[in-house]
Every structure is written in structure tokens, then in C-alpha cells.
Amino acid sequence: MSWTEVVIEVAREHAEALSDALMEAGALSVSVEDADEGTEAEKPLFGEPGMEPLEAAWDHSRVVALTDTDADQFAIVQEAANAIKLPVVPSFTTRALEDADWVRLTQSQFEPIHIGTNIWVVPSWHEAPDPNGLILELDPGLAFGTGSHPTTRLCMEWLEAHPAPGKSVLDYGCGSGILAMVAKKLGANDVAGVDIDPQAIESARANAERNGCAIDFYVPDDFAVAPNARHAKGQFDIVVANILSSPLKLMAPMLSGRVAPGGSLVLSGVLARQAEEVAAAYAPFIQLGVWAEQDGWVALHGTLGQDTAPAPRSFAG
């Protein structure tokens, strides 16, 4: 089976409306690209994890619509242009898209990820590069967190650098459950994960089972009434939260209250320029400092009861 792609270059103000109109006119799917990609005029659009840019379009946008090969591409473009009241039908080009093994093609884009000293995140269709490493079998999915983003890597590296055999760990905003699984595989005894998204909880439970990790996952309401004595007390030796700066600031009293006396709090999802304001939100409860920075993101950490913020991690040697 094959398809035909219709390629239209338009200004920013028409990109989104035209995309919607093309779908209504019979396109199978539509994407918007930077028409200046690969040139000096290329302009990346950035958004923090979970926070998309306000407008997914560029000053010079390329709209690509997928259609059946036997469809009337001109009629589709004409109908879409009329629907959004363009003065003329925009010019377009077409290109053939042959069928392919899309599963294999998608899988080829995901290789094992090496994190820290000894951690490997390995998709199920790959062999572990180092069978003696700390192996997490994890496929890309709907729940955010495969170790590819700097914030996830920073938290994983912190956990590896601070193993806590027999201690308790709370992963708040657990997503795929990857941080909870790292803690468990590093010897933590009582590990819990919490996320507001029931689909993330379902994914985390499946991932933990696949990796042989006994971890309790909850949505917040269930966590508040968890029957396990440690969870009911609500305090853990290590609390890690990889979310975003705004919710982290709002949750400062709650997350700080989950840390047991002498325990550690680790936060990420924080840009370097946001570190001071996030630390300030936690200052009444716990003193936080930057542990490490990666690609403009930082991990903050601190110990409950310690009067001063810890020194940043040293990378010397």
C-alpha cells in the first residue's frame, strides 16, 4: 500500500487553521514543519516537558498532509482553502510515500541509553550492552520518562550516587516509574510512586512487573489512605520529584512533609534560571542546593534538618 503526501508552504497565521481544514477535507493526517529547516533561518520551538509551545507553527511553515494515492489532492486542498477563506488556493507539491515496516522503523530510532556509571535503559527489542549493569527494560510509551531527558537522567544519576539499601523512597510524579525502579534495583526496601495520571500509574505498574520490582503505585487520593504503615505515615528516607518548576513550588509544603527527619529531597524539572526561586519556595522547610546541571536543567537536593544547602556536585577527575 502507498500514500501521497501533499506539501504546502504557508505563513504562520494560516498553518493551524489549514491543518484542521485539510483533516476535515479528507486528509488522513497532517503535520506542520519549519520550512526553513536546515538553513540559517531555521527557528526551533521549545517547550518544557508537558508544556507545549503556545503555537506549533513557524513564520515560514510547511504543512504536510497524508492522503490516499487515489484521492483528488487538488480537491482536498481547494476545499480546505475555501473553508478558511483563503483568497486563492495555495500551490502545493506531492510526493509518494511507499509502505514500510513502520514498527521496525520506529524501533530503530530507540537505542539503549547509558546513564551515570552503570545504568542502562534498554528497549525490549535490544540486548543489554552490559548484562552486568543495572538494566531497566523500558519501551517508549505514553508515560513520560525513558531516561532520554536531562531531568530524568539527573535524578537517576543522583540515586546511583546515593544508594540507599534498605531505605524507603517516594517517586512523586512517577510517570513511567523509572526513578522508582532505579531506587528499587539499587537496594531500596520500601518504594512508592505517585502520579495524577491513572494511565501513567497503569504504565508504571506494568514496567515494574516487567523489571521484577515490587513497587506500590498510587494516584494521590489513594496514596493519602494507603494501608501500608510506612506510606500511611507519609514520610520517606528519600523523596524525588521530577515534575516542573511551577507545580514544584506549589507543592513545597507537601513534598517537604513527606521527607523523614534526616532524609533527602531531590527535585528536577527545573531550568537553571529557575533554581533560585524553587529553592526559595522550599527554604522554610528544607535548604536546597544545585546538585548538578545538564543541558540547562538542574537537580536540586537537600537534607531535612541540615541548616545550609549542600555544595554542588564536583565533576573533577
Contact (Cβ atoms closer than 8 angstroms) between residue 248 and residue 267: yes
Q: What number of residues does the chain have?
A: 317
Distance CA 15, CA 60 (A): 9
- Among all chains, which residue has been given the C-alpha cell 528544607? 286
Contact (Cβ atoms closer than 8 angstroms) between residue 22 and residue 30: yes
In DSSP notation, 62-110 reads EEEEEEETTS-HHHHHHHHHHHTT-SSPPP-EEEEEE---HHHHHHTT-
Distance CA 50, CA 275 (A): 19
Distance CA 72, CA 51 (A): 37
Distance CA 106, CA 153 (A): 23
Known binding residue 173? Answer is: yes
Known binding residue 152? Answer is: yes
Nearest to 64 by CA among 21, 14, 4, 8: 8
Q: What amino acid is encoded at 268 in this protein?
A: S
Contact (Cβ atoms closer than 8 angstroms) between residue 47 and residue 97: no
Distance CA 91, CA 82 (A): 14
Strand order across the beta sheet in which 119-122 lies: 113-115, 119-122, 134-137
Strand order across the beta sheet in which 236-242 lies: 216-218, 190-194, 168-172, 236-242, 259-271, 297-303, 289-294
Known binding-site residues equal 152, 173, 195, 242
Annotated binding site for S-adenosyl-L-methionine, which residues? 152, 173, 195, 242
